[in-house]
Structure 1
Amino acid sequence: MSTTTFSQSDFDIFKIDGLEPRMEALVSSIRPKLEALGQEFAPTLSALVGEEIHYHVAKHARRSVNPPADTWVAFAPNKRGYKMHPHFQIGLWESHVFIWFAVIYEVQNKEEFGRTLQDNLSNIQSIIPSDFVWSGDHTKPDSVRMDNMSSNDLSTLFERLQTVKKAEILCGYRIFRDEFIKLTEQQWHDTIHNVFVKTVPLYKMA
């Protein structure tokens, strides 16, 4: 089994009941793969964005009752943490893997970024591929494909970032589990690299 790709049994970990049993399986099976992805792609992202990028594997340390429904490795320019910064993520839910550029609710300059996105709306429409997806909430598995987003839909998402305190914005790519398990490790790595290349302009705007 390769160290950076996920198996059917990894996706099934999210069906395990109870915080401790699920965390145990997650730590033993998924976390080493997220670590390996972190080591693999932090240098790639550093080169793409032109500053040193550090990786952070989700620890889910604040949880005391509910087991995590997804897990990830995040990439940011800060050694100590990523939530306060525009960042990148690779991770999985029970249904799919995701590769994101993310600005979540803890990021300080969200209003400014929302305005920048709005000012660059037509540029964003030309650089983000039609099969990429957008989300306004990192805690939910749902996302909407770029080719299903009108200019108005995107504008609403960007506006929300400026006006709603808890607003978030994520742009990237998802691969459903049945499709994912057919990928070779090389195809998986190529996909991650491609998503990072396509979403780096958003990071630079932020």
Structure 2
Amino acid sequence: MPKTKWTNNDFNVFQIDGLDQRMDALISSVRPKFQLLGEDFSSFFSSHLGEEFYPHVAKHARRTVNPPNDSWVAFAPYKRGYKSLPHFQIGLWSTHLFIVLAIIYEAPQKNVMAERLIANKALLQLLPNDFIVSGDHMSPTAISMQAAKEDKLDELLIRLRDVKKGEFLVGRHIPREQAIQLSASELHQITEETFSSLLPIYNIIVGK
């Protein structure tokens, strides 16, 4: 039975001033929910993708001055880390919940991954119109798949291939006003539906 529900207080954590104060609130209220989601969805990915996936809850350990503006749990088939691999994420900014598949700049073979996506762009274009794409995991902004289907999608994929800092994220953003209205079971359902739609994209990225 799903247990995780987001509240206004969870989103408000990212408006607390000060690194220590924000981290205290993040650790006490938000991180336990990411841990529960990590347990739920690592088994989902393991069963659907045929290899063991591990949850990685963001620790923000390198921060010494600036408090984090977002936080997440990531999923990848490697126990010691996820940033060098294509990975799935569930996370929060103060403005929205995100449920995405991401390739970020640390991935050493992202040019190969980009070529696979370019060759199968039609599959991306079949994703629901309310999905989003982004080229920067550090930014809360994104563009709808409906608006990106032509030039912007090409632009993001070419940048992923050719630019060292190029990134690619695809999935859903759910505004906080909508996210806080979702029951635990509704949240689980929409998250699972989103990830299910992204599984074929992941398989293309990794060359399955």
Give the TM-score of the pair, scaled to structure 2: 0.96
CA distance in structure 2 between the aligned counterparts of 1:39 and 1:189, rounded to whole angstroms: 12
Secondary structure of the structure 1 residue equivalent to 2:17: coil
Instruction: Give the drift of 1:124.
Output: 2.0
Equivalent pair of 1:3/1:32 in contact (CA under 8 Å)? no
In the other structure, the counterpart of 1:18 is 18
Aligned-residue identity in percent: 46
Give the TM-score of the pair, scaled to structure 1: 0.96
- Say what the alpha-carbon RMSD is for the aligned residues: 1.0
Q: In structure 2, give the amino acid aligned to 1:142.
A: T
Secondary structure of the structure 1 residue equivalent to 2:122: helix
Q: In structure 1, give the amino acid aligned to 2:24.
A: E
In the other structure, the counterpart of 1:74 is 74
Instruction: Give the drift of 1:134.
Output: 0.4
CA distance in structure 2 between the aligned counterparts of 1:49 and 1:32, rounded to whole angstroms: 26
| Number of residue-to-residue matches in the alignment | 204
In the other structure, the counterpart of 2:173 is 174
Equivalent pair of 1:74/1:89 in contact (CA under 8 Å)? yes
The gaps in structure 2 that reach 5 residues or longer are none
Q: Which one is further off, 188-197 or 143-152?
A: 143-152
In the other structure, the counterpart of 1:99 is 99
Equivalent pair of 2:125/2:149 in contact (CA under 8 Å)? no
In the other structure, the counterpart of 1:200 is 199
Establish whether residue 90 from structure 1 lines up as the match of residue 90 from structure 2.
yes
Deviations 1:18-65 (A, max 9, x none): 000000000000000000000011001111211110000000000000
Instruction: Give the drift of 1:184.
Output: 1.0
Equivalent pair of 1:102/1:171 in contact (CA under 8 Å)? yes
Instruction: Give the drift of 1:11.
Output: 0.6
Secondary structure of the structure 2 residue equivalent to 1:83: coil
